[in-house]
């Protein structure tokens, strides 16, 4: 137990040090604000750092640094790669092109430090939310419910558990994909929470009652598409189709093995029976994501067209996000998956989810 608790405390302490700078900045900037205004500013700060964490998590995966420190929460039970340098050197000497190098270890640990910092900020948000609610009740004043920040705190703890499983289960594709989805869910909760402190109903002109339903449908479709994108990335299936609009060798529809490609509970690169995953399975994963992208793109265009008559600024934001995702997604294929394009694609998906969540919350506020 000591082998777990000691590095966990050390990593959390480093995360606290990372969070200290943003907290000082937040405190200085929001000194003259109301308690609700300070909470909203802290939520915006945490939202921004969560976006950074998701993108840096993608960078960790794209640089094959997920097992740079093959244990958890520390690096060979040390708080940083400095204390684990002998273990890292031995692993690198045994396998020079393997997953453990000094550079990859630092990338993985920086990701954990940033995750710890975000977790501590969310803990502070929950504590301050309950304090604000208690003060508001004492003075018979309205205040946002503290249960949403509490749910966010529980969510980030579950997300941390999936982060640990990502390492201990050796990049098990289903776990890595769930880790990504829980990260996006965390961002969506923070976007929702941000709106709760200063409600700003969407300015609409005779918006149809079905508009909120349409946004919810697009949000669900986008989530499914993100899950497919995560499955492509965690299975390294991006270049299974290295052409566009065709897939491989000029084929529009090559032989695809969806059954093996979407067998969820299996090791990385393997089938459930332990044999190697074939090209047909990887191509099926890629093509499913490509088809999903077309569906979501059309859905966003339809939603943007509807919004143009009621909230043109939101229509433009959604069109910009959809265009960004189209360009960055195509760049991954035609430019052989450069890290910059892959990070742009992940960042674009994250922004799109935050936009759709905020839009849905504001439409809900308008209805009430």
**What's the per-residue H, E or C state across the chain?**
CHHHHHHHHHHHHHHHHHHHHHHHHHHHHCCCCCHHHHHHHHHHHHHHHHHHHHHHHHHHHHCCCCCCCCCCCCECCECCCCCCHHHHHHHHHHCCCCCCCHHHHHHHHHHHHHHHHHHHHHHHHHHHHHHHHHHHHHCCCCCCCCHHHHHHHHHHHHHHHHHHHHHHCCCCHHHHHHHHHHHHHHHHHHHHHHHHHCCCCCCCCCCCCCHHHHHHHHHHHHHHHHHHHHHHHHCCCHHHCCCCCCCECCECCCCCCHHHHCCCCCCCCECCCCCECCHHHHHHHHHHHHHHHHHHHHHHHHHHHHHHCCCHHHHHHHHHHHHHHHHHHHHHHHCCCCHHHHHHHHHHHHHHHHHHHHHHHHHHHHHC
Q: How many CB atoms lie within 10 A of CB 40?
A: 20
Q: Are 205 and 315 in contact (CB under 8 A)?
A: no
267 is catalytic: no
Catalytic residue chosen out of the listed positions 108, 141, 195, 243 = 108
The residues, ordered by sequence, that sit 6+ positions from 142 with a Cβ below 8 Å of its Cβ are 136
d(CA 80, CA 28): 31
Catalytic residues: 108
């Amino acid at each position: 137990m000591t082998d777990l608790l000691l590095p966990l405390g050390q990593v959390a302490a480093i995360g606290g040090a990372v969070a200290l700078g943003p907290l000082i900045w937040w405190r200085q900037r929001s000194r003259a604000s109301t308690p609700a205004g300070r909470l909203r500013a802290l939520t915006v700060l945490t939202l921004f750092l969560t976006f950074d964490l998701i993108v840096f998590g993608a960078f960790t995966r794209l640089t094959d640094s997920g097992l740079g420190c093959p244990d958890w929460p520390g690096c060979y039970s040390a708080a940083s790669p400095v204390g684990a340098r002998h273990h890292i050197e031995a692993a690198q000497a045994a396998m020079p092109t393997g997953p453990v190098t000094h550079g990859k270890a630092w990338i993985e640990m920086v990701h954990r430090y940033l995750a710890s910092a975000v977790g501590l900020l969310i803990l502070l948000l929950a504590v301050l939310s309950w304090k604000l609610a208690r003060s508001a009740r004492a003075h018979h004043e309205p205040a946002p419910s503290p249960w949403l920040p509490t749910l966010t705190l529980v969510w980030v703890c579950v997300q941390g558990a999936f982060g640990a499983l990502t390492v201990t289960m050796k990049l098990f594709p289903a776990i890595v994909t769930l880790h990504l989805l829980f990260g996006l869910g965390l961002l969506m909760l923070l976007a929702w929470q941000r709106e709760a402190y200063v409600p700003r109903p969407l300015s609409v002109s005779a918006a149809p009652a079905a508009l909120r339903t349409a946004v919810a449908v697009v949000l669900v479709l986008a989530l499914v598409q993100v899950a497919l994108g995560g499955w492509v990335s965690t299975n390294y299936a991006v270049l299974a189709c290295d052409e566009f609009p065709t897939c491989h060798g000029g084929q529009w529809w090559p032989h695809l093995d969806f059954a093996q490609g979407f067998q969820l509970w299996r090791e990385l690169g393997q089938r459930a029976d332990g044999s190697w995953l074939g090209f047909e399975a990887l191509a099926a994963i890629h093509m499913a994501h490509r088809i999903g992208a077309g569906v979501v793109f059309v859905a966003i265009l339809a939603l943007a067209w509807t919004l143009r008559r009621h909230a043109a600024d939101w229509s433009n934001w959604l069109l910009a996000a959809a265009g960004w995702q189209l360009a960055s997604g195509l760049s991954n294929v035609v430019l052989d998956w450069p890290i910059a394009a892959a990070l742009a694609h992940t960042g674009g998906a994250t922004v799109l989810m935050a936009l759709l969540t905020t839009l849905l919350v504001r439409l809900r506020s308008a209805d009430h």
